[in-house]
A = this chain, B = another copy of it.
Amino acid sequence: MASPEIDALTQILSRLPGLGPRSARRVVLHLLKRRETALGPLVAALQAVEARLVTCGICGNIDTHDPCSVCADPRRDPASLCVVEEVADLWALDGKRLFAGRFHVLGGRLSALEGVRPEDLGIESLVSRVSGGGFREVVLAMNATLEGQTTMHYLADRLAGLDVSVTMLAHGLPVGGELDFMDEGTLAMALRARKPVA
């Protein structure tokens, strides 16, 4: 069809999440037709990121600085720590400015199936970070999955002896959730965690 270079670019793009062969071709055409306004800026932006990519030595976030922009931000509450499984979770909670403290990225979740053990995750660094003192609260913001909750309980055990309040995210109906469309697990959880009407 096209030249080998264009084919190679289309293939690489089609492997990105959310893109397939058709949408990758659309993106390539868009870029080819806008060399100055789209292709050039994209190359420059990718190179700028690639050249400086580092993992934050404090929290495990991926950024172009170490410490990362989150850890370096002085306006954040230094006594509040949110533990997440992945960088994506950090971005989700932080991008919407939902949590204004510090973060700690585990880099995954405990999984017997996938053979992920505690020593494969950033758990020792979390424990020593919290042991170092200065934290009032640690929020365990794991996914509401079996493995996420297993990880959450493991972390709660590990942090139990320390002088810090350990909390977890609430579970229940999502905002706008209709009972009709909820799975049994969510319904059971929402029932079990029911509260008196204020």
Give every chain B residue within 8 A of A164 (Cβ-Cβ).
none
A146 is an interface residue with CB less than 8 A from chain B:
no
Complex Cα gap A190–B38 (Å): 40
A12 is an interface residue with CB less than 8 A from chain B:
yes
A134 is an interface residue with CB less than 8 A from chain B:
no
Q: How far is the CB of A34 from chain B (nearest CB, A)?
A: 10
A188 is an interface residue with CB less than 8 A from chain B:
no
* Interface positions of A from 35 to 68, Cβ below 8 Å from B: 35, 38-43, 45-50, 52-53, 62-65, 68
Contact indicator per residue, chain A 14-37, by CB within 8 Å of chain B (1) or not (0): 011111000101111111110100
A48 touches B9 (CB 8 A): yes
Complex Cα gap A150–B179 (Å): 54
Q: Given A18-B27, A87-B29, A9–B62 Cβ distance below 8 Å?
A: no
Q: In chain B, what residue has the closest Cβ to A23?
A: B18
Give every chain B residue within 8 A of A91 (Cβ-Cβ).
1-2, 25, 29
Give every chain B residue within 8 A of A46 (Cβ-Cβ).
9, 31, 39, 42-43, 46
Give every chain B residue within 8 A of A12 (Cβ-Cβ).
38, 41-42, 45
Contact indicator per residue, chain A 66-109, by CB within 8 Å of chain B (1) or not (0): 00110000000000000000011001001100000000000000
Q: Given A12-B45, A63-B6, A35–B18 Cβ distance below 8 Å?
A: no
Q: Given A16-B27, A69-B3, A8–B45 Cβ distance below 8 Å?
A: yes
A53 touches B26 (CB 8 A): no
Pick the residue among B15, B40, B64 that contacts A50 (CB under 8 A): B40
14 example contacts (A-B, Cβ-Cβ < 8 A) are as follows: A1-B95, A3-B63, A8-B48, A9-B46, A13-B42, A17-B26, A17-B27, A18-B19, A19-B19, A25-B95, A28-B49, A29-B62, A29-B88, A43-B43
